[in-house]
Amino acid sequence: MRTVLLGAPGSGKGTQGDVLSRKFNIPQISTGDLLRAAVAAGSDLGKQAKSAMDAGALVSDEIVIGLIRERLTHEDAKNGYILDGFPRNIAQAEALDNMLAELDQPLQGVVLLDVPFTELMQRLTGRRTCKDCGAIFNVYLSPPKQENICNNCGGQLYQRQDDNEATIENRLKVYEEQTAPLIGFYQQQNKLHSINGTGDIHAITNAVGDIFNTI
Ligand code: AMP
């Protein structure tokens, strides 16, 4: 099942991708996570990516396409995957299509998590992530039982460096200008499924799962 989760920053791609990956036993491949790991490791690639990430801008297509090309060769991706945060512009989407055409394994479906802009800011400023297991909480919408402690594993929660108001504003602008055109791109390919990304998290998972089951 070769899929993409599409949506603005804060639309729930990471949260849903994580649950769906376990449900369907296919990896969630997040370019944001791959880039943050490269930054944390202090690799050359991480150093090149860091300034764009801190500014809420896009890292170069060359870097992210290279990361995806390499990640898709891993054994765990042979039965499919959920791409999260990639592609983020038309050039990346075309590169992905070309890459997958070479393998004769085209994308099967793209699910858009549709969330009103007004809600995204609260989701992003309130987001906290567990440094150990990656679980995502929100201090306003789904707070952990104990402040700054993960409900699942007891790990410390942290706030992503790019989840501050100035950077968020730029990320949302970048989404509107560069990523939102992918909606039309995948509509034209008859691959786009749009769902309401607000409300109960489990209901959203089920809605995406139902779509995955039909593609
Ligand atoms: P995310 O975790 O998906 O919100 O991504 C965090 C940051 O990583 C973004 O604001 C970008 O700076 C960078 N990034 C992630 N995915 C991509 C991509 N496909 N293309 C360019 N930059 C990306």
Q: Is the pLDDT assigned to residue 213 strictly greater than 90?
A: yes
The residue to mutate among 59, 158, 175, having the most atoms of ligand 1 within 8 angstroms of its beta carbon, is: 59
Would you say residue 38 lies in a domain? no
Q: Is the pLDDT assigned to residue 106 strictly greater than 90?
A: yes
At 209 the pLDDT is 97
**Residue with tokens 């993960």, as numbered in its chain:** 150
At 173 the pLDDT is 96
Contact 197, 119 (CB under 8 A): no
Would you say residue 186 lies in a domain? yes
Q: Is 88 a catalytic residue?
A: yes
Which atom of ligand 1 is nearest to 55's Cα?
Answer: 12
Q: Which member of 2, 36, 71, 88 is catalytic?
A: 88
Q: Is the pLDDT assigned to residue 65 strictly greater than 90?
A: yes
At 118 the pLDDT is 84
What whole-number distance in Å separates Cα of residue 133 and Cα of residue 115? 26
Which atom of ligand 1 is nearest to 31's Cα?
Answer: 16
The residue-averaged pLDDT of 124-145 equals 94
pLDDT mean across residues, the chain: 96
Nearest to 105 by CA among 133, 77, 66: 77
What whole-number distance in Å separates Cα of residue 44 and Cα of residue 75? 25
pTM exceeds 0.85, yes or no? yes
Could you read off the pLDDT of 157-177 as tens digits, one per residue? 999 989 998 899 999 999 999
Contact 71, 34 (CB under 8 A): yes
Are β-strands 109-114 and 136-138 bridged in parallel, bridged antiparallel, or unpaired? unpaired
> Which residues does ligand 1 sit against, CB inside 6 Å?
9, 31-32, 35, 52-53, 56-59, 64, 85-86, 88, 92, 162, 171
The token pair at 63 is 């870097």
Contact 175, 191 (CB under 8 A): no
Give the CATH number for residue 198. 3.40.50.300
At 75 the pLDDT is 96
Would you say residue 191 lies in a domain? yes
Would you say residue 114 lies in a domain? yes
Q: Is 13 a catalytic residue?
A: yes
Would you say residue 107 lies in a domain? yes
The residue-averaged pLDDT of 91-120 equals 96
Q: Is the pLDDT assigned to residue 27 strictly greater than 90?
A: yes
Q: Is the pLDDT assigned to residue 202 strictly greater than 90?
A: yes
Would you say residue 113 lies in a domain? yes
Which atom of ligand 1 is nearest to 92's Cα?
Answer: 19
At 117 the pLDDT is 87
> Which domain does 210 fall in, by range?
2-27+74-214
* Total of domains in the chain: 1
The residue-averaged pLDDT of 105-126 equals 94
Would you say residue 55 lies in a domain? no
The residue-averaged pLDDT of 22-31 equals 97
Q: Which member of 36, 71, 123, 127 is catalytic?
A: 127
The residue-averaged pLDDT of 87-107 equals 97
Would you say residue 49 lies in a domain? no
What whole-number distance in Å separates Cα of residue 103 and Cα of residue 11? 30
Q: Which stretches of the chain are DSSP H helices?
A: 13-24, 31-41, 44-55, 61-71, 90-102, 117-125, 165-174, 181-188, 201-214
Residue nearest ligand 1's atom 1 by CA: 32
Q: Is the pLDDT assigned to residue 186 strictly greater than 90?
A: yes
